[in-house]
Structure 1
Amino acid sequence: MFSEIFYVIRSRRDGQYIMARPMQATDSDGQPAPIPTYLLLFKEHFDALTYLNTHSPELADQFTVESMASNQLGSVLQRWDFTGIGVVQDPLLPQIDIMDTQNPNG
């Protein structure tokens, strides 16, 4: 069976992946709720480079673009405790489709 290939951006300094973090919400008691984190995935290598060069050109050399097969995603999400994935549809805007893998219904 074939796997779809995605591209991720990873820090050369500490090995962490680039992620999306929505604004922090509060729970019913007014306390800060945990901030969900979403691993950013790109469909093409050049989209990841475009994202870096558009949104942080001064830091682009501190990151690397790596390929990742779709069958590797589950273990990466679990190991790094990501809430889900964000597939970047347009790296210039950016337009990102968020998918919650810990709570697919919510």
Structure 2
Amino acid sequence: MGVIYYGSSATPIRIADRALAHLKIVIATKLRRSEAFTLSWRHPDGDSPGRTTIWLHPAIPLRFVFDEPEAPTLNREWIEELAASANSSGGIQLLPAMFDDEHEGRITE
């Protein structure tokens, strides 16, 4: 289970390593182009109910931390799906399976 640390918040956003690897590619590409966008998710089971949206901007510190030392095999379709959503007015919408290592971070089921 990897994590994202965003801005000055010490609260990590926990995401399955494989899903996080795909998300990192899309986020890095957007921020490298100086493009800001949103990232949203419903709180996973076991957390307080609700949803969260963060505004990703190149000027805000961002750190990805992976549990696994080896990078997973990337799936081009997952990256394309995440990139398309990042370019939409709704931004990237993370799915519940992305927070679950048991599902290996599947983007679609």
TM-score w.r.t. the length of structure 2 is 0.30
**Structure with more strand by fraction:** 1
The structure showing larger relative contact order (alpha-carbon pairs under 8 Å, at least 6 residues apart) is 2
**Structure with more helix by fraction:** 2
Instruction: Select the structure of larger CA radius of gyration.
Output: 1
TM-score w.r.t. the length of structure 1 is 0.31
